Structure 1
Amino acid sequence: MAVQGPTLRDVQASSNTASSPFFVWREFVWGAVAGAFGEGMMHPVDTIKTRIQSQAIISGSQFQNQKNILQMVRALWVADGLKGFYRGITPGITGSLATGATYFGIIESTKKWIEESHPGLSGHLAHFIAGAAGDTLGSFVYVPCEVIKQRMQVQGTRTSWSSVSMKDSISLKPGMQMYGYYTGIFQAGCSIWKEQGLKGLYAGYWSTLARDVPFAGLMVMSYEALKDVTEYGKQRWIPNPKYHVNGSLEGLLLGGLAGGFSAYLTTPLDVIKTRLQVQGSTARYNGWFDAIRTVWMTEGIKGMFRGSVPRIAWYIPASALTFMAVEFLRDHFNDGQNNDNSQKVANLSIDKKGSYLQKVV
Structure 2
Amino acid sequence: MTGQDGLSPSFVETVAGFTAGIVSTLCLHPLDLVKTRLQVDRSSSSRIGGSLRVIHEISLHEGGVAAFYRGLSPNIIGNSTSWGLYFLCYGKAKEVARTFHAHDGQDLTSSDYFAASGTAGLLTAILTNPIWVIKTRMLSTGSRAPGAYSSVATGVKQILQTEGVAGFYRGLFPALFGVSHGALQFMAYEQLKIYRSKMTTITTTFFSDNGTAKNPDQKRTLGNIDFFVISGLSKTFAGGVTYPYQVLRSRLQTYDAHLVYRGACDAIAQIWAREGLAGFYKGLGPNLFRVLPSTWVTFLVYENTKVYLPRLVF
Give TM class, smaller chain. Answer: 0.7 to 0.9
Structure 1 length-normalised TM: 0.75
Is the 2:5–2:310 Cα contact (8 Å) retained in structure 1?
A: no
Work out the CA distance in 1 between the residues paired with 2:3 and 2:96. Answer: 11
**Is residue 2:61 matched to residue 1:74?**
no
User: CA offsets, 1:224-279, max 9 Å, x none?
Assistant: 121112112111xx657999666334323322222232122211111111100014
Cα RMSD, aligned residues only: 2.8
Secondary structure of 1:135 counterpart: helix
2:120 to 122, 127, 134: 134
Q: How many residues align?
A: 297
2:186 counterpart residue number:
220
Instruction: Indicate the larger mover: 125-134 or 110-119.
Output: 110-119
1:176 counterpart residue number:
none
Q: Percent identity?
A: 26
* Change beyond 3 A, Cα 1:243–1:214: closer
1:89 counterpart residue number:
72
* Change beyond 3 A, Cα 1:299–1:27: same
* Change beyond 3 A, Cα 1:250–1:334: farther
1:23 counterpart residue number:
9
Secondary structure of 1:55 counterpart: coil
Q: After the TM superposition, which residues 158-169 of structure 1 pair with which residues of structure 2 at under 5 Å, given as runs? A: 158=144, 161-162=145-146
Is the 2:198–2:219 Cα contact (8 Å) retained in structure 1?
A: no
2:232 counterpart residue number:
256
User: CA offsets, 1:65-105, max 9 Å, x none?
Assistant: 68612222222221221122111110011011221112111
* Change beyond 3 A, Cα 1:111–1:243: closer
Work out the CA distance in 2 between the residues paired with 1:92 and 1:271. Answer: 17
Is the 1:256–1:318 Cα contact (8 Å) retained in structure 2?
A: no
2:156 counterpart residue number:
189
1:177 counterpart residue number:
none
1:342 counterpart residue number:
none
2:208 counterpart residue number:
none
* Change beyond 3 A, Cα 1:265–1:281: closer
**Is residue 2:177 matched to residue 1:201?**
no
Secondary structure of 1:63 counterpart: coil
* Change beyond 3 A, Cα 1:64–1:324: closer
Work out the CA distance in 1 between the residues paired with 2:176 and 2:47. Answer: 31
2:198 counterpart residue number:
232
Cα deviation for residue 50 of structure 1 reads: 0.5
1:157 counterpart residue number:
143
State the one-letter code of the partner of 2:76: I
Work out the CA distance in 1 between the residues paired with 2:221 and 2:123. Answer: 33
* Change beyond 3 A, Cα 1:138–1:284: same
User: CA offsets, 1:22-62, max 9 Å, x none?
Assistant: 22122111111111211221111111111001111xxxx43
Work out the CA distance in 1 between the residues paired with 2:98 and 2:295. Answer: 25
Work out the CA distance in 2 between the residues paired with 1:121 and 1:326. Answer: 23
Cα deviation for residue 221 of structure 1 reads: 0.7
1:265 to 238, 241, 251: 241
Is the 1:295–1:304 Cα contact (8 Å) retained in structure 2?
A: yes
State the one-letter code of the partner of 1:224: E
1:329 counterpart residue number:
305
Gap regions ≥5 residues in structure 2: 205-216
2:223 counterpart residue number:
247
State the one-letter code of the partner of 1:263: G
State the one-letter code of the partner of 2:74: P
Secondary structure of 1:122 counterpart: coil
Secondary structure of 2:260 counterpart: coil
Cα deviation for residue 151 of structure 1 reads: 0.7
Is the 1:148–1:189 Cα contact (8 Å) retained in structure 2?
A: yes
